[in-house]
Amino acid sequence: MLRLIELQLLRNRHMTNEELSEASSVPPDRIRSFIRSGKLKLYDYPKLADECDRCQKPIRSGTMCLACKTQIQDDIANALEQERLMKERIRQNTYMSRDR
């Protein structure tokens, strides 16, 4: 299967995932798995792309696009900040009493 893909790309290295799928009769998901596993190097083929795991936008490296990575990082930072504020509020609302 990989050999069929490579032969098609030798004929036209500017094929997109869809064009390659049609020309080689290999499902797009299989092409994506070859890209993910490193069997197809994207730097050799400028129009091939993987998909972001979160939003399915085309990406050239990693598993997520920059926008999704940034959104997740922001969500984590916000959750940590909310947790910190909650702990601070609890600490302010409780007081320590001394036993005499």
Burial-class residue 2 by CB neighbours within 10 Å (0-12, 13-18, 19+). Answer: middle
pLDDT at residue 82 in the model:
96
Distance CA 60, CA 75 (A): 24
Written as tens digits, the pLDDT of the chain (100 aa) is: 888 899 889 999 999 999 999 999 999 999 999 999 999 988 889 999 999 999 999 999 899 999 999 999 999 999 999 999 999 988 887 765 555 5
In the three-class reduction of DSSP (H, G, I as helix; E, B as strand; rest coil), residue 58 is classed as strand
Give the pLDDT confidence score for residue 24 in this predicted structure: 92
| Closest-CA residue to 6 (of 51, 18, 23, 27) | 23
